[in-house]
Amino acid sequence: MLVLENTLVQELVDADAAIAALETAFREFGRGEAAVHRRVRTSLAERKLSTMGAIMPTAGILGAKVYTTIDENFRFVVLLFDAESGRPLVSIEADALTEIRTAAVSCIAARKLGVDSPATTAIFGAGSQAANHIRLLASQGLAGEVRVASRSNADAFCRELEEECGISVRPSTPRAALLGADLVVTATRSTTPLFPMEFLESDACVLAIGSTLPACVEVGPDVFAAARRVVVEWLPQTREEAGDLREALRTGVLAEHSILDMSHLLLAFDEGHKESATGLRVFKSVGVGLADIAIATDLYQRFLGSKND
């Protein structure tokens, strides 16, 4: 079985290819041509093992992502299998793959929710996911001026990202960051809402990507209640994992039938039902196995192609 290690994976990761692979995979899922294995977490003695995955017959792939969480550190591996024979094809160290996955899904959501030009952007958090979102949103022409609200590390973080991305990236307070912000990214592990709804611009697009556990809450029920559109990757998983979405559903300010899966958002877009840039829109992301396997499959196929050149 082939093994692709992190160093090579970092060279192979490509944002445009990842976004294209994700859009294809979500569309196939929406048409019933792919299946998702939801995340399963097992914990003991402060050690955690998690699995998630997908079946993608069109690509000829079954895949699983397996990762450990120890002392708040994550290590990721993706395994791809041949869909006909079941033969294992490749083991991919997936740290770099995971980093681009979340930001790439966010870029798709932002575009399909009406963001089509460099937006004044508020970022909550100064960790790796915040950095990845700034990089990818900037490179995709979706982020202009960026304001970073973080409890620590904001000055050095902003200087580094401003130099790297060639756009204005400045530290800010939560209130000032949100003033006039068309695009908002929350990339924290907060257990309480990061801001009240009245701090948001009425036509803002919120990408809530940091909270993936029931105990974590980045966005309060008041934001979901005010949203014109709420989108998730896949509701059966999101309603189990996302504390902020669970709270909005529990309090009754948000109804399940009003929530749109990413796959349906894309298929509706293809049919000409485009979302406008007006009204509050929220994308709640937890990360689904379909996204990991889609990007891993594209990366694997491009690796094979490079060996044949």
Place of tokens 């050690």: 47
- Structural domains in the chain, sorted by start: 2-98+290-308 (3.30.1780.10), 102-287 (3.40.50.720)
308 pLDDT higher than 80? no
8 A C-beta contact, residue 161 and residue 100: no
DSSP 57: G
**Percent with pLDDT over 70 in the chain:** 100
Is residue 276 within 8 Å of residue 114, measured between CB atoms?
A: yes
Give 33-60 as a DSSP string: S-EEEEEEEEEETTEEEEEEEEEEGGGT
Q: Is the pLDDT score of 115 beyond 90?
A: yes
What is residue 72's predicted lDDT score, i.e. its pLDDT? 85
Nearest alpha-carbon partner for 209 in 231, 177, 178, 236? 231
For range 267-294, the mean pLDDT:
97
Q: What is the pTM of this model?
A: 0.96
Q: What is the pLDDT of residue 152?
A: 84
